[in-house]
């Protein structure tokens, strides 16, 4: 069974008698360990699909099965708990709380988990070590560079050992050097067996993944295996 299965997913927004079809009959499967890019022009439905995949929004119609669980049957509270346990998010804007330290930011998802509080520090330290920020744990986000902030966000996404990581334009706010560092971390996580979906309009980022799904006008225009993903250990590339 696939990790995720979407069947005929549609999302319609109604505003002042204007109907906007953001997604129109999208069906796809994501298997464990896949490294997938979702691309397409502005307005193609990328963000809407990300929000539905990440359980941040509900589809208007269709079926969503996640690890054999029908997501459509969950209450809002059940959905929030399931999302916190199963999905790690990395956003373009980082979404770190400036009033607390790096270590405290990384531990935030554990507040709503079943993990014993005695283990929180150990888990957060391990996650920060994985992204190379062990020496920054007592710093505040305002004391970090953009690349470091995104590495904190990745550590936070890892803290609950999620089934899948969703990254929304993870290099969009970064300079070329920092973007390359983030790409290498994301690629390394997939090499370890983690399932990752990257939503991006950047071809350089999509081309390191093994599968590219292109949206247009709320539908899947193309879904193909990337036969020649870029080997970032041998080739330098910039935005």
Confidence of residue 16 (pLDDT cuts 50, 70, 90): confident
Residue 39 · residue 205 · CB < 8 Å: no
Give the mean model confidence (pLDDT) for residues 208-212: 95
* Spacing of C-alpha 114 from chain mean position: 22
Residue 4: the pLDDT is 97
Token pair 């590495």 is found at 151
pLDDT digits (tens, 9 = 90+) for 63-102: 999 999 999 999 999 999 999 999 999 999 999 999 999 9
Any idea how long the chain is?
239
Contact of 169 with 140, CB cutoff 8 Å: no
Specify the pLDDT at position 143. Answer: 96
Q: Which two tokens stand for residue 178?
A: 């920092």
Burial of 92: CB neighbours in 10 Å, binned 0-12, 13-18, 19+: middle
Measured at the CA of 51, the angle between CA 83 and CA 133, to 5 degrees, comes to: 65
Q: What is the DSSP letter of 33?
A: T
Q: Where are the domains of the chain?
A: 4-225
- Specify whether the CB–CB gap between 10 and 169 falls below 8 A: no
Q: Looking at domain 4-225, which of 3.40.50.300, 3.30.1160.10, 3.40.50.720, 3.60.20.10 is its CATH number?
A: 3.40.50.300
DSSP single-letter state for residue 34: -
């Amino acid at each position: 069974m696939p990790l995720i299965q979407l069947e005929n997913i549609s999302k319609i927004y109604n505003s002042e008698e204007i109907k906007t079809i953001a997604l129109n009959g999208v069906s796809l499967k994501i298997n464990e360990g896949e490294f997938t890019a979702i691309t397409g022009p502005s307005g193609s439905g990328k963000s809407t699909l990300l929000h539905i995949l990440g359980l941040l929004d509900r589809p208007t119609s269709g079926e969503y099965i996640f690890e054999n669980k029908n997501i459509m049957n969950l209450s809002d509270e059940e959905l929030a708990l399931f999302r916190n346990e199963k999905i790690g998010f990395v956003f373009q804007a980082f979404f770190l709380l400036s009033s607390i330290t790096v270590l405290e930011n990384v531990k935030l998802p554990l507040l709503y988990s079943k993990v014993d509080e005695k283990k929180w520090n150990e888990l957060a330290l391990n996650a920060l070590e994985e992204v190379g920020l062990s020496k920054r744990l007592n710093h505040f986000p305002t004391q970090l560079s953009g690349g470091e902030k995104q590495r904190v966000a990745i550590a936070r996404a890892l803290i609950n050992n999620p089934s899948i990581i969703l990254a929304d334009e993870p290099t969009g706010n970064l300079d070329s050097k920092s973007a390359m560092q983030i790409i290498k971390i994301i690629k390394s996580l997939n090499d370890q067996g983690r399932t990752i979906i990257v939503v991006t309009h950047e071809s350089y980022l999509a081309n390191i993944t093994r599968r590219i799904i292109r949206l247009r006008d709320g539908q899947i225009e193309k879904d193909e295996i990337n036969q020649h993903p870029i080997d970032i250990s041998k080739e330098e590339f910039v935005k």
